[in-house]
Amino acid sequence: MGTPSGALGLIVQREGTETRAMEDQMTAMRTSRSRDESREESREEGWGRRLEGAGALLLRYGLVTILLWVGALKFFAYEAEAVEMLVTNSPLLSWLLDIFSVRTLAALLGIFEIVLALLIAARPRAPRASAIGSLGAVVLFLFTLTFVFTTPEVLQPGYGIPALSPMPGQFLAKDVALLAIAIWTAGEALAATGPRRSVALA
């Protein structure tokens, strides 16, 4: 027969082995859970980057599309009439009608918008030119936002602040978002002209 102390030693050894096994199992479970969480975070990060990239693309080329479209419309008589209504009441720009006819002024504005659109669209090949185009768009939208304060009937008659009229109030309000987009595209394009791009191309 074995001694009591020997049996006790075996029991203690067995319990120690079982404890270590349980600890190893718990460690493995924590490691597996950590891997699953990391995998989930990586999946979410991947989707986030895809959405961010798609958003950036739509912001830039949505702005390009709007400038091209609206710029081309400036060559039509009905659009020139809208330009006249806005410019006539602007203390900053009304003097231009003393120099140019309404159709000529509208056409010049259209050309300016189309040139800005083409510069902004050049971002993949010429980020510096794209930044210049975006900064030009910033100036353009800052000027057009002044029409909110100078154009009659920006507010819906009989309602007052904050009830913007459909035209020109709500029409002009969209320029707040376009201004923000132009600022972002300018910053992104300027950042792309920095040292990191030079190293990448070396």
Cβ within 8 Å of residue 130, ≥6 positions away = 119, 120, 121, 122, 123, 185, 189
Confidence at 75, pLDDT banded by 50, 70, 90: very high
**Position 40 pLDDT exceeds 50:** yes
- The predicted pLDDT at position 201 comes to 34
> pTM of the full predicted structure?
0.73
pLDDT at 72: 96
